[in-house]
Chain A
């Protein structure tokens, strides 16, 4: 089965939560060194919950679709629940099988969101 399923391509062509939040509590960038892809993630937090999130950047269909779906998924969620998310949660959202190389593309958004939450925690401390 192709990994380029309709759902993935829909998110790639019209990503959700695209852009930069005007007001945010965290702002981080992550990159995939093997292809130069970059994602910038901004998010807003109220009472330990992600109330809003947006991303910009350039990437392949898999990383953009993953960013689109994952930002949808984490919106409204407790920080703690998001921190506990794993590779399997991302793969479940994408609903495809990935080779190790492409897995790096799919996991870049999760890496970004985790980094954003971590930066938040260190500022709160």
Chain B
């Protein structure tokens, strides 16, 4: 065990929960719940307005999170951090504010078939709305993006062209569990067309890996607080400051303006220009506690722990189900995080998840918001177990043993 289950109150309840759905949302440690509780019980005032101490403190805690996030992902300035509702909203913000102003008919928007719908549908709709071409990078049967030649060298000439305006790609696949070589991909994209705007969906990466936006050399990066021990309701958009400054607001209203007149309004500076209305103050403060928690545990330890657990689980699954089992993305050459999505011949994923649910084992069944990927794999749906720092070998053993029961019930 890497992290005490007792840090996570939901796991210490009598219900003997085996939680293997951390890729959907992570559990929340007491430290995060406490930080949010403290806001609500001790200083729950609105931010950026009040002149009294409660409000000053709320503003300070909220803004401090911006700095913490900037440091956490290696941003040049805290002004490059924008708080949204979730990663999905972050992508939409870019698709609307940047996309609608810069993408025209005949341009190309490039993404991949392994994206979560959050990083697929906004681009698809932007393409449909502007008349741009929507290009989707395919995968090999092993689940790797089809952009490598037989020596493993990146080949993007067929994909990225002088017409490419936007390239959007995930860092870690939420189904295959594979870590894309995003730094190399970005370099290869820039070598072909330095003007391409690159957005990285890091929702499945930030909870497990060290992410550094300057090292990656992307233009935008998005993630969600709730997958990294933080609360639901908060997402992050990081963007290069010069881009953000030249973008129009996404939402209009309070807190995003400097001046409002009957005949015109003047926007606030970045990042406030993109944070209209009262934000999820408690959630943002909770995110700060989550980052501290992750740093205290150590991301390197977290990913090593998950990798070991996922490898162990894959091995046990093969032992138990032989050739009836298929784990998607297993034979990829890329490194994996703690995600194991699979099918077992003769067992419908809903039934597997349903039978395990009766034993308080939580796994996910369905498309995991990645329908284009499932269509490409020819899988109607998959079951997915995903691990995090609080997952244990006992969890994996119980999962495999109850899965065997499910198999005998269903076949």
Contacts and interface: CB of A to CB of B under 8 A. Distances in A.
The answer to whether A and B interact is: yes
A36 B367 CA distance: 8
Interface string B196-220: 0000000000000000000000000
A59 interface: yes
Interface in A58-96: 58-62
29 contacts: A2-B355, A3-B358, A4-B354, A4-B355, A4-B409, A4-B410, A9-B409, A12-B410, A34-B366, A35-B348, A35-B349, A35-B350, A35-B366, A35-B367, A35-B380, A35-B381, A36-B366, A36-B367, A36-B374, A37-B348, A37-B350, A58-B348, A59-B348, A60-B348, A60-B351, A60-B354, A61-B348, A61-B351, A102-B350
Interface in B395-411: 409-410
Which of A2, A58, A59, A61 gathers most chain B CB within 10 Å?
A: A61
A78 B340 CA distance: 49
B365 interface: yes
Interface in B82-114: none
A105 B365 CA distance: 13
Interface in A1-37: 2-4, 9, 12, 34-37
A112 B348 CA distance: 20
B410 A37 contact: no
B350 A2 contact: no
Given A36-B367, A36-B374, A3 B380 contact: no
Contacts of A36: 366-367, 374, 380-381
A58 B380 contact: yes
B356 to A, nearest CB: 11
Interface of B: 348-351, 354-355, 358, 365-367, 374, 380-381, 409-410
B56 to A, nearest CB: 44
Nearest to B381: A35
A2 B381 CA distance: 23
Given A35-B350, A35-B367, 13 more contacts: A4-B351, A4-B354, A4-B358, A12-B410, A35-B349, A35-B365, A58-B380, A59-B348, A61-B348, A61-B351, A62-B350, A62-B354, A102-B350
A78 to B, nearest CB: 33
Contacts of B409: 4, 9
B380 A2 contact: no
Nearest to B411: A13
Contacts of A105: 350
Contacts of B350: 35, 37, 60, 62, 102, 105
A102 B365 CA distance: 12
A61 B353 CA distance: 12
A37 B365 CA distance: 12
B377 to A, nearest CB: 12
A60 B343 CA distance: 13
Contacts of B410: 4, 9, 12, 61
Chain A to chain B: the 10 pairs with minimum beta-carbon distance, closest first: A60-B350, A60-B348, A36-B380, A35-B381, A60-B351, A61-B351, A35-B366, A36-B381, A35-B350, A2-B358
